[in-house]
Amino acid sequence: MVGHTRGTHDGFGREAGSGSQQPPPPPPNLAELMAMQTELLRQLVQGQQNQPRYQQHGGRDAQPAGYQEFFGTQPPLFSRADDPLDADAWLRTINSKFALLAVPCADANKAHFAAQQLRGPARIWWDHYCAMQPAEHVISWEEFRNVFRSHHIPEGLIERKLNEFLALNQGTRIVLQYAQVFNHLCQYAGHHADTDAKKRDRFRRGLNTKLKERLNLVQPNTYNELVNLAITQEDCIAAHRAEKKRKAPTGPSSAQPPRYRLVHNTPSRPPQRNAPMGRLVFRPPQQQGGFRPPVPQQQQQQ
């Protein structure tokens, strides 16, 4: 009986000869695994960068070219403002961020970028505004600023702040505090403070009488120079008052001398017959508590 050797089978029922069997490949080492992961990440990032970007239209979010650079300037968010003047400050801050970009930003993209920073009620308002515009309408930066200001900064509030500026005076404030309030309200002054000369004149009017008297003959060239002079004169006035207070006499030596007054010293009992009447004496205040009867002349002689 002729024996035979069973051949080995692979996983698919095929018989594999001993001469054709290949050893399994060795497992990849750590360096090869890290290289494979790096390549996969690179392909994933490249695929995301090649995805098309859409411009904002009808309230939809988008990321036009240059948005990442704008976002890198850390523009502030805006949701709502307890004081409507904060809305104007946010708008001016966003506008200043565009000057930091290396490549000038397109006018239409400025409105897109600013809209990405709206949150909460402000975002809802903006979406409603965009929904009311025609499909082909492109919102410019000028339009965004105008509608934003008209919605968040009422005209009545601007007029109120203008009246506060016109009636502003130093009062009990120090010069530095007065200058801070003046600079804050100056942005709502319009033509009343649109030049440096007008600002100097308006600031001088609001100073207290003492400072206006000292600065009456001084003609500074700029508004900042006027503020610095007012602070210097205020320090001089404060130093003079402190020196005067220090030199003022204090203590018992500064008290006024006691005043003497005329007291009619009358006896407490009716005088006897042929007895001398009372006499006038001067007594200091500490001895004016009571009256002493006069001493008869007979007793004085004895």
Per-domain boundaries in the chain: 67-153, 157-245
**Per-position pLDDT tens, the chain of length 302:** 444 444 445 444 555 444 556 666 666 666 676 777 677 666 654 544 444 343 444 444 446 667 888 888 899 999 987 777 788 889 999 999 998 888 888 888 899 999 999 999 999 999 999 999 998 899 999 999 999 988 888 888 888 889 999 999 999 999 999 999 999 899 888 899 999 999 999 999 999 999 999 998 888 999 999 999 999 999 999 998 888 888 887 765 555 666 656 555 555 565 556 655 555 555 555 555 555 556 566 555 55
What Cα–Cα distance (Å) separates residue 191 from each residue in 39, 182, 183, 199, 207? 63, 15, 15, 10, 21
Comparing CA positions, the residue from 101, 97, 110, 106 lying closest to residue 141 is 110
Please state, in angstroms and rounded to a whole number, the distance separating the CA atoms of residues 123 and 145. Answer: 15
Look up tokens 């695994």; give the residue: 33
Q: What is the pLDDT of residue 227?
A: 96
Q: What is the pLDDT of residue 1?
A: 46
Q: What is the pLDDT of residue 104?
A: 84
Q: What is the pLDDT of residue 57?
A: 41
Please state, in angstroms and rounded to a whole number, the distance separating the CA atoms of residues 171 and 165. Answer: 14
pTM for this structure?
A: 0.50
Phi first, then psi: what are they for 260, rounded to 5°? -95, 150
Q: What is the pLDDT of residue 12?
A: 47
15: enclosing H helix or E strand: strand 15-16
